[in-house]
Structure 1
Amino acid sequence: MQVRPLTPQRLVAEIVDHLDAWTGTWCRMAIDGAPAAGTAEFADDLVDPLRERGREAVRVSTRDYLRPASLRLEHGHRDPDSFYTGWFDLDGLRREVLDPLADGGSGLVLPALWDPAADRSPRRERIRLPERGVVLVDGPLLLGAGLPFDRTVHLELPEAALQRLTPDEQQWTLPAYRRYAAEVDPRLLAGTVVRTDRPGRPAVIDALS
């Protein structure tokens, strides 16, 4: 395995360079990983540097694309298999975020589809992403589902670190991440894989063998 340590600032700059090299009308970026890996924070860190390059950025999180509680919690509040297969509305994410940014799309992005606390639509307005814009989608279990992303990053936590950093109330999700690693192996699908088990000291995995 070839691992290349970077500062957080250099990692952000490297990913922004990759995004800025995209020549399509829009760029659809996935930041995949468990919440404990810091996917939301990393996606947020990309916004201002992209705008400094003249690329508008819109943030979307899968936590705002959950399915209704009647479907999501059909097998209980802490069923890891349901979490793996049925919590996230990936069809909605494709329809409302990714397909509108395909070639010839409308450019209109819905930043949130469902409010899990109220268990209803948040009634958010669509955002028109200008040309050269980037949508940054963060969340778990994003790879291997056939979603049309143009750039992908997987933030990896080794098993021991994932268990240590996951809050007690979310420990029940760990079997889903083990299944994801075994069945999908996001390291093989992501354009960039970053180890995040050492806070403030990320490392890019340039080769797995």
Structure 2
Amino acid sequence: MKVTPLSPETLVAELVDRIDALPRDGHARVVVDGATATNPHELADALVDPLRALGRPVLRVSAKDFLRPASVRLEHGRTDPESFRHSWTDTGGLLREVLEPLDPGGSGRVLPALWNAETDRASRADYVALAPGGVLLLDGTLLLDKWLPFELAVHLWLSPGALRRRTPPEWQWTLPAYDDYEPQADLVVRYDHPTRPALVGTVEG
């Protein structure tokens, strides 16, 4: 398997090219998935302006705004890796409010946030219409083995040592959740060193 070293800037450019190559007659649902230690939201954020510069409407959504209520999420305690793995994210809400409306023939109306985990209350977000040709950029962790529909799925991969080393002390309890995680990704980026990412597979162009 070919592994191509990139700079952070060329990684963004490569992903933007891949996303912009997706058809413009519908919606492009793109996910950046990675362990908490990879900060997948940062890479997703970096894609927004370059895509808009290409004439693509962009909507940013984060899976952290689709967590289940604390009464469900923390039913087995605050540090249960099995719950973190399978029960923290409201995947049904993501499907219903974000992904399915962007199906072919869907309404295109997306609810960008469902639950405020800090207040443990429903979000007051309004629905947003994403125009045809628009791109949904979703970031999150442990999303790529749940049969969620995406036109492009990017996974930020960490070696076990890097995962352990880069995970903050307060999140070390989550490490067992990644032991059997087998993400179904279109693109895998080796991310042990964010300043020196590497794309697994073929670089376009």
TM-score range, shorter chain: over 0.9
Partner of 1:25: 26
State the partner residue of 1:146: 147
* 1:18-57 CA distance string (max 9 Å, x none): 1111114110001111121121000000000000010011
User: Which residue identity lines up with residue 53 of structure 1 in the other structure?
Assistant: L
Deviation sequence 1:93-131 (CA, Å, 0-9, x none)? 010000000101111111110001111112101111111
1:157-188 deviation line (CA, Å, top 9, x unaligned): 111001111110000000001121xxxx22xx
Q: Where do 5+ consecutive residues of structure 1 fail to align?
A: none
- 1:156 Cα offset (Å): 0.5
Matched, 1:13 2:13: yes
When you count helix as a share of all residues, which structure comes out higher? 1
Structure 1 segments of 4+ aligned residues over 2 angstroms from their partners? none
Deviates further, 112-121 or 15-24: 15-24
Aligned pairs for 1:165-180 (under 5 A) are 165-180=166-181
Partner-residue secondary structure (3-state), 1:29: strand
Q: What's the secondary structure of 1:179's corresponding residue?
A: coil
Give the Cα separation in 1 of the matches to 2:64 and 2:105.
28
Amino acid at match of 2:120: D
Q: Show structure 2 runs of 5+ residues with no match.
A: none
* Residue aligning to 1:98: 99
Q: Which residue does the alignment assign to 1:204?
A: 199
Aligned-pair CA distance for 1:199: 2.8
For 2:107 and 2:151, locate their aligned partners in 1 and report how far apart those are by CA, in whole Å. Answer: 17
Query: In the alignment, what sits opposite 1:193?
Result: 188
Q: State the distance in 2 between where 1:71 and 1:122 align.
A: 17
Report 1:6-155 matches (<5 A): 6-23=6-23, 24-155=25-156
SS in 2 for 1:28: strand
Q: Distance in 2 between matches of 1:158 and 1:107?
A: 37
SS of equivalent to 2:32? strand
Q: Distance in 2 between matches of 1:204 and 1:52?
A: 24
After TM superposition, the score normalised by the length of structure 1 is 0.94
Q: Report how many residues are paired.
A: 201
Q: Give the drift of 1:67.
A: 0.3
